Structure formats: structure tokens, C-alpha cells
Structure 1
Amino acid sequence: MQKEHRLTDKRDFQRVFHHGQSFANRYLVIYYLKNRNSEAFRVGFSVSKKVGKAVTRNRVKRLLREAFRNSSDQIKESYDLVVIARPSAAELEYESVVQNVHHLLRNMERPDAGKRKPAPQRTNSPGAQDKQGERRKGVR
């Protein structure tokens, strides 16, 4: 991956985590934030020790780097991206990594991506009043 596409500074990672939005699937989580200072997208990877030993973690990072390098034409605007590999990502082959990266990038571009769904409305069921602080008889 070219140097202009690398996100390496700890402060940049923190900025993306705190101010960006996220989207996830079974194997990967992506945090993204619009970058007004750069024309190119930048991507950083985080693979924790839960994924496996160093050889496995480095393999996952290599696969992710290659998948993003080949998918760079899909990223139309300048974003800072942080990709976190979940432990289940260790079992993926390259084709699956590419599919998962494409899935994240497609959904990241959607206007409603990263927005939380509203919580379901409470119903007036008999147990609803108990949750609001009133004690039920016979229960301590």
C-alpha cells in the first residue's frame, strides 16, 4: 500500500474512533471519518492478540492490506479508515477477505450507514409498571 494511503499516527486512530462512525460484519469492523485535509483515503489496521499468534495476526494484516489496495477504486472520497479484525477473521482466505471488505465499503457509502436504529417502543404490558420502580407484592 502506498505511503499516502497509510494511517499510522496514534492521534489519527483516536480521532477516527472518537469522532467517526462504524460499521461491522461478522469478521471485520470499520471506523470511518471524512478527511478534509487529504485528497486520498488513508487506512490503518488493528489486529488484537485475540486473533492469534503473531504469524496469524500478520497474515490477517497482509490480506487486509492487499484487499484494500485492490479495492481502492471503490473509495470515492477521502476518508480515514480504521479496520479492526475480529478473532474469526483468522480463518478467512483471501477471497473471503475481499468480499468482506467490499461489503463494508459498499455499506459505508450508504446514507444511513453508521446510524443507530431506534430502540423499540415500550408497550403497556402488565410488567411494564414493575420496571418503573413499583414493587410487586411478595417480592423483596
Structure 2
Amino acid sequence: MLAKPNRLTRGSDYKAIVRRGVRCAATHTVTYVGTGVEHAPTRFGFIVSKQVGSAVVRNTVRRRLKAVCAEMLPEVRPGADVVIRALPGASTADFGMLRDEVARCLRRKAA
């Protein structure tokens, strides 16, 4: 799980990162990376819409994405703000596939 300082909580933060951040698209996810305060902790946020599936499926996808981000946290530069949007196909993707996609985008844009 991600600690509280590593979570995005405000809608305005999500909106700013999606609008101004660098985008990296993959098959099942779209990752947006924005620059925050340099000495602040890295923060992650997740967007999983109803198009992904039922509430149970959405929560499963969100938990998988959170676990991937917790693994990648040491590799992401401090102060980066990351929003990961799950696409409808994410419901059928296994954990390894999601991990590879998100890790590739984070290494490319947030390292």
C-alpha cells in the first residue's frame, strides 16, 4: 500500500497533472507524469472508470496498480506526481502485464 504522503487526493491535482503532465500510453493504461515540488514525496493517483467493469473489477484493478506503484516508488524521482488511468482492457490484464506497462512508462518519463 502507498503511504498517505504518496497519494494524490485533490481533484484539482488530478486535473492539473492530466492536462499539463507528460503522457505515456500503453495497451491497458495511460500514465501522466507531472513535476511537483522537488523535495516533496512522489505522489500517485489512479483513475478507474466504470468502463473498466463493475465495482469489484475496478477495485481489483486499482489495487493492482497501487501494488505496482509501491514497487516502483524507489525508482521514481522525488517530487514527481503520477496519475495512472486504467483503460477498459485493464480488467482482463494480469498483474505482470500491468506491472510491465506501468514500469516501462515510469522508467521512461519519471526516472
Q: How does 1:26-105 map to 2 (within 5 A)?
A: 26-36=27-37, 38-105=39-106
Which amino acid counterpart does residue 56 of structure 2 have in structure 1?
A: V
Matches of 1:5 and 1:109 in 2, distance apart? 15
The answer for unaligned runs of 5 or more in structure 1 is 111-140
Which amino acid counterpart does residue 40 of structure 2 have in structure 1?
A: E
- Tell which structure's C-alpha radius of gyration is larger: 1
Aligned residues: 110
| Structure showing the higher strand proportion among its residues | 2
Which amino acid counterpart does residue 9 of structure 2 have in structure 1?
A: T
- The two structures have a TM-score, normalised by structure 2, of 0.91
Tell me the residue number matched to 2:22: 21
Q: Secondary structure at the match of 1:92?
A: coil
Runs in 1 of length 4+ with deviation above 3 angstroms? Answer: none
Q: Which one has more relative contact order, counting CA pairs under 8 Å at least 6 apart?
A: 2
- The two structures have a TM-score, normalised by structure 1, of 0.73
The percent of aligned pairs where both chains have the same amino acid is 29
The answer for unaligned runs of 5 or more in structure 2 is none
| Structure showing the higher helix proportion among its residues | 2
